[in-house]
Amino acid sequence: MQGGRRVSLLLGNIVDALGGSLEGGLRDTEVVRIAPLESAGPGDISFLSHPRYQQQLAASRAACVIVAPAMREPALARGACIVTDNPYAYFARVTQLWRQQEGRAPVLGVHPSAVVDEGAVVHPSASVGPLCVVERGAHIGAGTVLKSRVTVGADCHVGARCILHAGVVIGADGFGFAPQAGEWIKIEQLGAVRIGDDVEIGANTCIDRGALQDTVIEDGVKLDNLVQIGHNVRIGKHSAMAGCVGVAGSATIGAHCTVGGGAIVLGHLELADNVHISAATVVTRSLTKPGQYTGMFPIDDNVRWEKNAATLKQLHSLRERIKALEQALKAA
Amino acid sequence: MQGGRRVSLLLGNIVDALGGSLEGGLRDTEVVRIAPLESAGPGDISFLSHPRYQQQLAASRAACVIVAPAMREPALARGACIVTDNPYAYFARVTQLWRQQEGRAPVLGVHPSAVVDEGAVVHPSASVGPLCVVERGAHIGAGTVLKSRVTVGADCHVGARCILHAGVVIGADGFGFAPQAGEWIKIEQLGAVRIGDDVEIGANTCIDRGALQDTVIEDGVKLDNLVQIGHNVRIGKHSAMAGCVGVAGSATIGAHCTVGGGAIVLGHLELADNVHISAATVVTRSLTKPGQYTGMFPIDDNVRWEKNAATLKQLHSLRERIKALEQALKAA
Amino acid sequence: MQGGRRVSLLLGNIVDALGGSLEGGLRDTEVVRIAPLESAGPGDISFLSHPRYQQQLAASRAACVIVAPAMREPALARGACIVTDNPYAYFARVTQLWRQQEGRAPVLGVHPSAVVDEGAVVHPSASVGPLCVVERGAHIGAGTVLKSRVTVGADCHVGARCILHAGVVIGADGFGFAPQAGEWIKIEQLGAVRIGDDVEIGANTCIDRGALQDTVIEDGVKLDNLVQIGHNVRIGKHSAMAGCVGVAGSATIGAHCTVGGGAIVLGHLELADNVHISAATVVTRSLTKPGQYTGMFPIDDNVRWEKNAATLKQLHSLRERIKALEQALKAA
């Protein structure tokens, strides 16, 4: 169900706003929904993000399909299409056009239920939602949207055009304690958090303030829900992390990295630019070369897992037995 | 410590309310606490959920024990009992009776500190707790309870008799971005979240709105705390997930499934009905048959783990060495 | 960037407040920042927590370095130092002195936007931050600080000098349901949560109330962000858990334990005192001996991981093949 308010656009409106070439169809054809190829009906616009879905293209009942130049012929054989270099990015921009049409832009300014310290700076074009807390010395940049129940702690800086979803906590204390005589002495966290422009942060995600210096999230970073970023971490431009990721203190992550859901990055490590971590993988050492890295136990039927897991606990000795066999065979 | 207000019930009240047969005891025996068999005292009611705890039954000082028909004889040998087909479910209903007696039902209506959009619909028998946010177009069903600090986003629908615990976020944007020239283009999330009846959602759990269609949680689903449900996920009736589970976008999970704590389900997968995933397991493929599935590295003493983990990184070559040995022996 | 307000201290002030012996420097030397050895400038105080960083000591431009007695000579060769038995704990106390100087102590009392039930008890020296919820029968001890948007549920008890960071939920219902005819019957959670003194709890962390008895967090425990503690868990004194840890119901964890980020402790287990669990490890059995325990799949290049993971699913049969080879060779 898309929105409360009905949206409709003409194909001509779409290409006027976003570019691309409308072929095999009429500018005044109306579309009332964006839909995947297989479920699109005659009032819908759809998209073909990858040639491997070409079969779905042929069968689709969509009014218009967004396609790459290489798919122009099969698309035209079916009906109207918009031809563009990056159909998936074009689709993303269509969703943005849709959202604008809904007339549901966030209300500018500070919601009356929010608690904003008088020593905080909120840009007039920013939106601070219901029941948010913005502490003294904090800075909220132009066009940035804090959804409901977001906390931005003292002296933390959020750049322009960011989106912080409900429940986000920026600038809680990092987890720092010195052991003494079996107890923990608190290390006051004297740094803050600095977040660049165009950063999106998912619901209930936490980014801790630094111990002595700042925790830094660079421009264009995207974090999903329930992500934990420890103190003094640095995340490079346009990196993205899926839900439930944990990054321990003082890790430095490069630009254009991706981290899959539930992965853990241990502290004080460095990840180069363009490193990609698979879901649920534990990063225990620095990764200096771009590439895809994985470490997860393969799922199996429980009975087979039990057998293999039990054997795994003897793996080192199995290796010794193989060595012994090799030597025995050589000697024979 | 149970409640602030002292509760007491007569055994007769309990069987009148919940059925079952009271044997070997008096209707006017008073019980003032529900307790496990081993710690129950003479003013307590207890239960025997499984025959393997029969020894604890014999030793228990409880005023009355809830037992299955098969345990009737040993229970009577000890004292009063309530005989019922499913003692654990009966115990659950006794806790509900207890809660009612405490006179602490959630206050109906909307707490004055909550922020409820005038375009939202809250059923008169629902309870919206302190500092909740209910956005325009949202719907809160009959008898549903939102504890404190819950967000229900625009156009999201919560059915009847649901419980949403503190900090829950329903309807934050799904994590959707299209890559273009090294940056991420936001895909506006135009769907909503639809939650059925009798659903319980744990503290700080997040359920994202769908990209084009809705994210759907069917009737009777139970989610623990800090669970992440991605956009366009569907969870079938009466499935349950323990704490810290992450389900990535567009996964479809059947009815009567269970997912153990910390497990991760990757996106676009299908799990059949009655699939059970062990804790901390990563589901990387669709599971079409009911059953228990597991994938976790077995815990060990750190020194042994290090040896086995190091060998694991050579496992494929070990297999080759075994093959070579087999061939050599065959040739010999 | 440290704080909004500039802090400066004389070395003489520091040793007067915290002890230790100032050597090779002047009491009236002013320091304006605390910094790591490698980035410290001539206005900064730094510390040497471990002899392995001795090389950084020699090169550091810090005005003064906190060192252990064994490092006194090399430190003096460089310039001013404060000699103390535990330099890291001393550094922690310097950060506390810094925080005090900033004049940013939490405001005592209850913030006007907080919702505190009239049946709750908040000590006059406690601080309840903006948009917190404290339910009936809850108790907040002396000197305890609730940051913004914390929920403390009915009848839960928080001791003295605790810090609960933003978004914390104490006393949501534990995850308890009895299966009956394919549905789940709710087990009302009649216990509460009892938290000792000097406990720190990270942002968006959840501690569930007990089913029949209380969930107990003993004195001095430190929990990081996004940690999930199930019902009826007990955590012993001065244990610490990093971010994203999940502890399932009725687990009992000893004193002075540590649990690394993302680890999962299954329910009804017991961990002895001084047990240390590595990050992302799944604790599937009780651990009765102190020590370090680990279970995680080692990260690798994705291609190598795929080969090794595929072989892992045949590991049990590989063991059988090794056995067969051994027997064949013996027979030969």
Q: Which of C182, C142, C188, C133 is nearest to C161 (CA)?
A: C142
Residue A123: active-site member: no
Res. C49 pLDDT band, cuts 50 70 90: confident
b/e per residue, B206-215, with b = 16+ CB within 10 A? bbbbbbbbbb
DSSP string of A54-92?
A: HHHHHH---SEEEE-GGGHHHHHHHS-EEE-S-HHHHHH
The answer to whether residues A218 and A201 touch, using CB atoms and an 8 Å cutoff, is: no
User: Residue C158 above 90 pLDDT?
Assistant: yes
Q: Chain centroid to CA C208: how far?
A: 18
**Is the distance from CB of B155 to CB of B140 less than 8 angstroms?**
no
- B61-105 residue pLDDT tens: 999 999 999 999 999 999 999 999 999 999 999 999 999 998 878
Q: Is the pLDDT of residue C2 over 50?
A: no
Let me know: does A29 contact A8? Beta carbons within 8 Å: no
Locate B194 and state its tokens.
């639809």
**Strand C215-217 relative to strand A33-34, pairing:** unpaired
Decide if A290 contacts A308 (C-beta within 8 A): no
Yes or no: say if A202 and B229 are a contact pair by the CB < 8 Å rule. Answer: no
Given a cut of 60, is residue B2 above it in pLDDT? no
Smallest CA-to-CA distance from A275 within A260, A112, C278 is with A260
Q: How many CB atoms lie within 10 A of CB B69?
A: 11
Task: Please state, as a whole number, how many other Cβ atoms lie within 10 Å of the Cβ of residue B219.
Answer: 18
Average pLDDT over chain A reads: 96
DSSP C274: T
Three-state secondary structure call for residue A13: helix
Q: What mean pLDDT is predicted for residues B267-283?
A: 98
Closest Cα in chain A, distance from residue B4 (Å): 30
**Antiparallel, parallel or unpaired: β A291-294 and A270-271:** unpaired
Interface list for C 91-150 with A (CB within 8 A): 91-93, 95-96, 98-99, 104, 111, 113, 129-131, 147-149
Q: Where are the domains of chain C?
A: 9-101, 109-293, 302-331
pLDDT, residue C1, reads: 41
Please give the Cα distance from A9 to A98 (Å, whole number). 8
ipTM for the assembly:
0.97
Longest Cα–Cα distance of chain C, Å, equals: 87
C139's enclosing H/E stretch is strand C139-140
Residue B332 pLDDT grade (very low, low, confident, very high; cuts 50, 70, 90)? confident
Tell me the pLDDT band of B7, cut-offs 50, 70 and 90: confident
Q: Confirm or reject contact between B288 and chain C (CB < 8 A).
A: no
Distance from CA of B284 to the nearest CA of A (A): 7
Type of residue at A63: A
pLDDT bin (cut points 50, 70, 90) of residue B5 is low
Note the pLDDT of residue A2: 44
Kindly report, residue by residue over A147-190, the tens digit of the pLDDT.
999 999 999 999 999 999 999 999 999 999 999 999 999 999 99
Q: Which of C110, C111, C156, C183 to mutate to test the interface with B (most CBs of B within 10 A)?
A: C183
Show residues of chain C in contact with A173, CB under 8 Å: 163, 165, 200, 202
- B310: contact with C, CB 8 A cutoff: yes
Please check whether residue A300 touches B, CB under 8 A.
Answer: yes
Q: What is d(CA C14, CA C98) in angstroms, rounded to the nearest whole number?
A: 10
Pairing of strands C30-31, C9-10: antiparallel
Q: Which CATH class is domain C109-293?
A: mainly beta
- Tell me the mean pLDDT in the region A114-128: 98
What pLDDT score was predicted for residue B103?
Answer: 81
> Quick one: DSSP state of residue C83?
E
- Which amino acid belongs to residue B250? S
Note whether B169 contacts A238, CB cutoff 8 Å.
no
Name the CATH superfamily for B9-101. Answer: MurE/MurF, N-terminal domain (3.40.1390.10)
What is the C-alpha separation between A15 and A66, in angstroms, rounded?
11
In contact, A153 and A164? CB cutoff 8 Å: no
Q: Using 50, 70 and 90 to split pLDDT, how confident is the model at C3?
A: very low
Residues C29-65: b if buried by 16+ CB within 10 A, e if exposed: bebbbbbbbeebeeebbbbbbeeeeeeebeebbbbbb
3-state secondary structure of A85: coil
Which of A129, A203, A300 has its CB closest to that of B295?
Answer: A300
For chain C, helix, strand, coil in percent to 5 are 20, 30, 50
Query: Is B128:B113 a contact under the CB 8 Å cutoff?
Result: no
Percent of chain A with pLDDT over 90: 93
Listed residue (C268, C267, C247) closest to C257, CA to CA: C247
Please name every residue paired with A168 in a beta bridge, in sequence order, or none if there are none: none
Q: How far apart are CA C315 and CA C332, in angstroms?
A: 26
B97 half-sphere exposure, CB direction, 13 A CA radius: 23
> And the tokens for B193?
């979240």
Are the C-beta atoms of residues A168 and A203 closer than 8 Å to each other? Answer: yes
Q: How far apart are CA C272 and CA C253, in angstroms?
A: 7
Mean pLDDT value of segment A267-271: 97
Contact A108, A126 (CB under 8 A): yes
- Report phi then psi at A56, rounded to 5: -65, -30
- Distance (Å, whole) CA A233 – CA B93: 48
**Rounded mean pLDDT of B166-185?**
98
Interface test with B, best of C264, C321, C330 (most B CBs within 10 A): C264
Residue type, C219: D
Strand order in the sheet with B264-265: B115-116, B133-134, B151-152, B169-172, B206-208, B228-229, B246-247, B264-265, B282-283
Calculate the average pLDDT of chain C. 96
pLDDT band for position B144 (50/70/90)? very high
Asked if A244's CB is within 8 angstroms of B204's CB, the reply is no
Distance from the Cα of B324 to chain A's closest Cα (Å) equals 9
Of C2, C244, C329, the CB nearest to A328: C329
